[in-house]
Structure 1
């Protein structure tokens, strides 16, 4: 078996375990009854790391349509997880942010994964990290 085949075998066995562990991460109690899905985690991560963003910016980053983001934002705003306000410089543009009420819970929830990634990536050089991320993106694209 080639080293590529060995790597593929290892990854095919590893990936389902990683996904399973990620799915079993406990949702914070105050968010548990809100029917949150993995797509929400990506939205939360962008807002947590990058700050308030417009709907179109979120759509570009999430690689979905603005209508999809708008529906997600409306749902999460009704639940009190997000705040949506008008952009003072462009009244047609909505700015979305995490609500202060749930920001700490979301930060705690996401920080578990961030800490695991930090532990895995810290020993690597910048070029090794870039290659790793590029490889994961290539895998996603190939799927």
Structure 2
């Protein structure tokens, strides 16, 4: 596990994103938006396992930097849909998508039950080292 984490940390931030001083807490949020597409603050909060106010603070930070954009939900104008700003989409994809592709490659030969066991094991590890707290810091 330390070797896996060490390799992930060595993936350099693309030049186009270096000036934004992105922190680890931003990476999960950006990964969800990149891989799953735009979503609401509450959806992001649920995925990140943080309070909506915490998710809103992260989103506000990235929005002020121009990395994220908010738009009205066409179905409910009170809700905001959060997405990666078009001008940063390619840089974020180039940075984060290879990690997702690596997971797909590693998990592809496994049966659904084996994949579930891997995911459950990683979730148990996460819980043992502090759970969702690592997503916030």
TM-score (norm 1): 0.83
Aligned to 2:114: 128
Is residue 71 from structure 1 mapped to residue 45 from structure 2 by the alignment? no
Is residue 94 from structure 1 mapped to residue 80 from structure 2 by the alignment? yes
Paired with 1:124 and 1:89, the residues of 2 have a C-alpha distance of: 39
CA deviations over 1:85-120 (Å, ceiling 9, x no partner): 222332321110011101111111112212221222
Shift of 1:40: 1.3
Find the partner of 2:47 among 55, 61, 71.
Answer: 61
Find the partner of 1:47 among 15, 33, 39.
Answer: 33
CA deviations over 1:12-62 (Å, ceiling 9, x no partner): xxx122111111111111001111122211111111122111111111110
RCO (CA 8 Å, sep 6+): is it higher in 1 or 2? 2
Shift of 1:63: 0.6
Q: What SS is found at the alignment partner of 1:34?
A: coil
Aligned to 1:20: 6
Runs of 4+ aligned structure 1 residues displaced above 4 Å come to: none
Radius of gyration: which is bigger?
1
Aligned-residue CA RMSD in angstroms? 1.3
Is residue 109 from structure 1 mapped to residue 104 from structure 2 by the alignment? no
Aligned residues: 129
